[in-house]
Structure 1
């Protein structure tokens, strides 16, 4: 069917809304399996273990021991908020009464803890004092109210991202109230909202901006929702004051200054601004959210729809330089999909759901291991890197475990949309739904994205009549879609990425759509010769074998003028063999998301035959150099980045994360220091630190287990570039140890660093220390 210039856009509703999740039931598919695996995981979790600190810090006896991982750190409590939301979503998606019972139980427990405190505050977050003891985190807020605000970006006066944790609790309570009207949930969240309203009211604008330099999640969104539920304008005032000028002002102005910002810290701020626009109508809020979405999806995203390297945005259109083992934090995509739905509500555009579908299929679905129920933190795209899933029996309770339990509770939430009497199908996922507006029951049958099409049946229709049904036409499908009604070809109206059939419908009618699922290559932003293979919405990956052991192979490269001609279908769903294309050997391509416990290659350097001959020696030499460094590395410390600093037990005083020329690091000012642990192994070792070559004069000491290893002087050493300095370690410093502490201490009236990464690796044979 050729695309015709019909006014399809005029048949779409101005402000569509999704059918309620409770009205949608998934039919058998990988999505339905994910929901059931996740439901089992939620059942295995113990609410009383999440509630341990809430009761303990309120002076009540805990009913169960606390969980480990992040829940046993100063960020304790964030997972309970996620868990509450996941219980609500699972109840809506499946009707599971146990999920609703648990959610109500948690609210009762929180209400008791809040009443015992008597201040409106309720929480589990901790505060680490200088002597290392962890106490009730509430004690930081009176300090904040006095203007004593000490933050390194994620730490606030000794507590880890406390307002982020508060936001998760807010969101969980609001979701429970919104789902079935639990009045006690609104009571608890109102008390909590009043507590922090008083905290913020004590701060002037400069102090507030300093406070908001520490991650605060989507707390602005929660206050906006609280306002919409209560119509109390005090909450709207707080929501609008939760505005980080440093990040948001450039977005309002249409400027991309995202490089070196922690990605997931920013996305929820824009979700909140979008929600605020719905309440205020202020154009700058909508403009910032829209510009941010376009900027991230078009200039900062990988082929699977995720973004960020080691949790941080890089320079725009530089993805090809950031294909690492630390790409695509799941929380980022979880929040980007929320933002996508918000933008779609303002104006239906199929391009929004082209992104949604890609990220949902390739990233979200890869982030849960259906065998175990575990979740990824990062989804690595570096060749040969296996995914690391959480152990559901010994959970670390990362942030991405929390967003994971939400994401896999709601795979039916964005399939069907409605407005002005019409229906929109945005995702081709097998499902049934009750469409209350028309008194209809609809069924969507499809094997997409493995097979090219879907059938929508109006199984029941109590309110017959003329209305439009819009089926999304993915942007990659071009003009070759075909639409039928009851098996007969029709010519739909085309507009805004939809094929729209507007007619009088009756029960039993079937509308179907088909489109090609052809292979294509997509270049990574920043290098047209770094490519990935895509089939329809699905990213394919070269299968490199089981995840056990270490990856020792060479990164495969594509060589040839017509790469796609070398692909032929093979046995298996969306599986292809290659012939004569890859160097050093051909491989089989499979759906990327399904590589749960296997190693993959997603991005490939592409060469012509002549180009490969010219580049082969240099290309393979560079591969060998990188692998040699990786093979000899014992531990790597990415300074200035949240999770690596947590993993390496970083402690500091008068020390700050920095970013420059696309790299993150950390410095320490006079009187301060930063110290972290690094793993060791027997034998001669070398400590390597990276610096910027155009620093002004400064001096600092480097200590290993409090023994001075070296004094470093920096002063315009290698102008205009980064450089590395190697410090051989005396074996006496590491002998018999599994780890050492590395410390950077500035001289008086000087600075230490900035240091843009530290690596510990084995010395080459023959080296002496």
Structure 2
């Protein structure tokens, strides 16, 4: 029997805080996000320990180790062999930043999946960093020289040395937190002693000038290390890195972001979030909420859920003139997802989960090459755009680093705990096991997050619907000890066209009401049951706020891109997108495909999800002329 969700209080019900689940308790079980994770894991392993440490070895004086490396090559047969180039080249001012990203990504992948090979590689890199730190006198452990900090203090041009240092700190913190390796904390503490002495030598005005130059997530590192060690040195550093020139006007309600470099400020606010979680000081939380209002609520986003053009925040709701070849920097997508995760855990409002979903599909997936696993630094949104892919060894942009981290964290976004309930936050094929009522609660979501399947074998059985369903369907298996009642909260997506439908097993009613934070609340009475979830969806348009006659098309959370290399005006009604686009090449074997084509236009244009575009020219926004 199909049971539509009953109103148990509505979206306006106050939600309680949510909690992240222990690493390893949630596993992806197939689907596109899991496939991209696996591609990313293979890339992490392809990079040799010697190459990762090349700049740290050079700085520590191990010339023979680093300069024996051969020049880098993108030949698949020698992938990972040879000196790293691009931003990691030994003359680059950000050299050494990537090893921190690698440590964070490898540690998380190993912690979630139990990957012993990656865990061992993390140990090798820690051995190398410890060796470099000892050779440098016992504190300095970075791939750049201390001289860069002197240049920074003198006001001379130097490319963000504290940003680079932060990446090494971040990698050490994540290894300590995710894998529990005590060496990582020791290395970080020794390195922090150098920073503590250096930073204490400046007068307040000069120190404020230094903080105005990109510090990365140094504030977050100090909060993390304070949490891990209780060392008062980190409390002092936390106070010292309070960037009041940014935070105070933000708290006063000023727009401090328009035309400001976005990914300079987001990590600082993530640092404020950790400072609140570690110290409980309310001001830090107020900074985080003020930033979200300024960056998202009062500013809006592109149709993708992302923001920025040329790495800077756009003016509020003014995007028409900001579409170009440098729209939506990947770093901002990744870090704003992290910020939304923080706020969901604090407030329990499912709107943050909707934000994460849109950015996962139209940012994290759309900006990773499905074959090579490489990143496109930007996601261009101008007519006739093309994605410019990075390479395994020749680039190592900042976005290259956030890419490898992003694809190790999907499972952490799939489920949360809230009160005594389990929250299904993202509709990704995954399973979770958590203690419950003297036993174990097991929940598994099956289906496809990109294209619906029919099965188990449509060649030999039921072929399913005649045409692609206007819905997203999943099977949810819930198992708890007999008689042990369990509550599972299901996110009701903001794109859902009508009430979600939950079908109980064997004709039994699914006990569902609308619960806190806009979630659907499913009560499971114990034992094992399978529930079928149907999320109705429709093709819809997303207009540019300051050019409402120009729209993008989306199906559910997925933005569609037209395969056309120039600006094209379509004729039709934005409120009736089903009269403009029709299903195209919709089915193969047991799988529904996701293409569309225009109808009633002078020229036919094919559309695909933006995440499926690889090398084709594409256009996302189309001006509409009413008929």
- Note if 1:243 corresponds to 2:242: yes
Indicate the residue corresponding to 2:488 in structure 1.
Answer: 469
Structure 2 counterparts to residues 604-643 of structure 1, below 5 A: 604-609=622-627
Residues 217-248 of structure 1: per-residue CA shift (max 9 Å, x gap): 11100100000011123212212321223322
- Note if 1:364 corresponds to 2:364: yes
Segment drifting more, 596-605 vs 494-503: 494-503
Structure 2 counterparts to residues 467-546 of structure 1, below 5 A: 467-477=486-496, 479-486=498-505, 487-490=507-510, 492-495=512-515, 496-506=517-527, 508-544=528-564
Quote the Cα distance in structure 1 between the aligned partners of 2:13 and 2:291: 28
- Note if 1:445 corresponds to 2:446: yes
Structure 2 counterparts to residues 741-752 of structure 1, below 5 A: none
Indicate the residue corresponding to 2:54 in structure 1.
Answer: 52
State the shift of 1:464 in Å. Answer: 5.1
State the shift of 1:13 in Å. Answer: 7.2
State the shift of 1:571 in Å. Answer: 1.4
Residues 672-719 of structure 1: per-residue CA shift (max 9 Å, x gap): xxxxxxxxxxxxxxxxxxxxxxxxxxxxxxxxxxxxxxxxxxxxxxxx
Higher share of residues assigned strand: 1
Segment drifting more, 566-575 vs 164-173: 566-575
The structure-2 alpha-carbon separation of the partners of 1:81 and 1:503, relative to structure 1 and needing over 3 Å to count, comes to same
Indicate the residue corresponding to 2:387 in structure 1.
Answer: 387
| Other structure's SS at 1:476 match | coil
What is the number of equivalent residue pairs in this alignment?
576
Quote the Cα distance in structure 1 between the aligned partners of 2:172 and 2:110: 15
2:41 to 39, 42, 52: 39
State the shift of 1:412 in Å. Answer: 1.4
Indicate the residue corresponding to 2:338 in structure 1.
Answer: 338
Quote the Cα distance in structure 1 between the aligned partners of 2:362 and 2:535: 19
Indicate the residue corresponding to 2:428 in structure 1.
Answer: 429
Matched-pair contact (CA < 8 Å) for 1:471–1:499: yes
- Note if 1:185 corresponds to 2:206: no
The structure-2 alpha-carbon separation of the partners of 1:13 and 1:351, relative to structure 1 and needing over 3 Å to count, comes to closer
State the shift of 1:160 in Å. Answer: 1.7
Quote the Cα distance in structure 2 between the aligned partners of 1:433 and 1:287: 33
State the shift of 1:503 in Å. Answer: 4.5
The structure-2 alpha-carbon separation of the partners of 1:92 and 1:62, relative to structure 1 and needing over 3 Å to count, comes to farther
Indicate the residue corresponding to 2:462 in structure 1.
Answer: none
Indicate the residue corresponding to 1:68 in structure 2.
Answer: 85
| Other structure's SS at 1:576 match | strand
Larger-gyration structure (1/2):
1
Quote the Cα distance in structure 1 between the aligned partners of 2:234 and 2:307: 32
- TM normalised by structure 2 equals 0.87
Matched-pair contact (CA < 8 Å) for 1:448–1:454: no
Unaligned runs of 5+ in 1: 126-136, 151-156, 545-550, 610-769
Quote the Cα distance in structure 1 between the aligned partners of 2:177 and 2:391: 32
Structure 2 counterparts to residues 53-452 of structure 1, below 5 A: 53-64=55-66, 65=69, 66-72=83-89, 73-125=92-144, 137-142=145-150, 148-150=153-155, 157-298=156-297, 299-392=299-392, 394-437=393-436, 439-451=440-452, 452=472
Indicate the residue corresponding to 1:683 in structure 2.
Answer: none
Quote the Cα distance in structure 1 between the aligned partners of 2:440 and 2:4: 34
State the shift of 1:256 in Å. Answer: 2.2
Structure 2 counterparts to residues 541-552 of structure 1, below 5 A: 541-544=561-564, 551=565
2:583 to 551, 564, 569: 569
Residues 564-606 of structure 1: per-residue CA shift (max 9 Å, x gap): 322222213222222124xx52312211111012121111112
| Other structure's SS at 1:413 match | helix
Segment drifting more, 475-484 vs 197-206: 475-484
Indicate the residue corresponding to 2:458 in structure 1.
Answer: none
Residues 434-489 of structure 1: per-residue CA shift (max 9 Å, x gap): 22355233211122353412222124x34852232100001121542112332534
Quote the Cα distance in structure 2 between the aligned partners of 1:494 and 1:476: 17
| Other structure's SS at 1:6 match | coil
State the shift of 1:143 in Å. Answer: 6.0
Quote the Cα distance in structure 2 between the aligned partners of 1:294 and 1:518: 29
Quote the Cα distance in structure 1 between the aligned partners of 2:150 and 2:312: 32
Residues 345-383 of structure 1: per-residue CA shift (max 9 Å, x gap): 111111100000000111100111121221110011111
Segment drifting more, 87-96 vs 480-489: 480-489
Quote the Cα distance in structure 2 between the aligned partners of 1:230 and 1:444: 38
| Other structure's SS at 1:434 match | strand
RMSD of aligned alpha carbons: 2.1
| Other structure's SS at 1:304 match | coil
Indicate the residue corresponding to 1:600 in structure 2.
Answer: 618
The structure-2 alpha-carbon separation of the partners of 1:149 and 1:505, relative to structure 1 and needing over 3 Å to count, comes to farther
Indicate the residue corresponding to 1:591 in structure 2.
Answer: 609
Which structure exhibits the higher relative contact order, with contacts defined as CA atoms closer than 8 Å and separated by 6 or more residues?
A: 2
Quote the Cα distance in structure 2 between the aligned partners of 1:102 and 1:212: 34
Residues 188-224 of structure 1: per-residue CA shift (max 9 Å, x gap): 0011111111111111221111001111111100100
| Other structure's SS at 1:17 match | strand
Unaligned runs of 5+ in 2: 70-82, 453-471, 587-592
Quote the Cα distance in structure 2 between the aligned partners of 1:76 and 1:464: 58
Quote the Cα distance in structure 1 between the aligned partners of 2:397 and 2:236: 32
Indicate the residue corresponding to 2:571 in structure 1.
Answer: 559
State the shift of 1:83 in Å. Answer: 0.5
Quote the Cα distance in structure 2 between the aligned partners of 1:202 and 1:464: 64
State the shift of 1:38 in Å. Answer: 0.9
Residues 139-173 of structure 1: per-residue CA shift (max 9 Å, x gap): 233566xxx431xxxxxx45321111111111100
Matched-pair contact (CA < 8 Å) for 2:151–2:158: no
Segment drifting more, 477-486 vs 381-390: 477-486
Segment drifting more, 294-303 vs 321-330: 294-303
Indicate the residue corresponding to 1:30 in structure 2.
Answer: 32
Quote the Cα distance in structure 2 between the aligned partners of 1:395 and 1:16: 41
State the shift of 1:250 in Å. Answer: 2.4
Indicate the residue corresponding to 2:72 in structure 1.
Answer: none
State the shift of 1:260 in Å. Answer: 1.3
State the shift of 1:491 in Å. Answer: 5.4
State the shift of 1:50 in Å. Answer: 2.2
State the shift of 1:8 in Å. Answer: 6.8
Residues 300-351 of structure 1: per-residue CA shift (max 9 Å, x gap): 4211122110111121111122111110000001100111111111111111
Structure 2 counterparts to residues 627-706 of structure 1, below 5 A: none
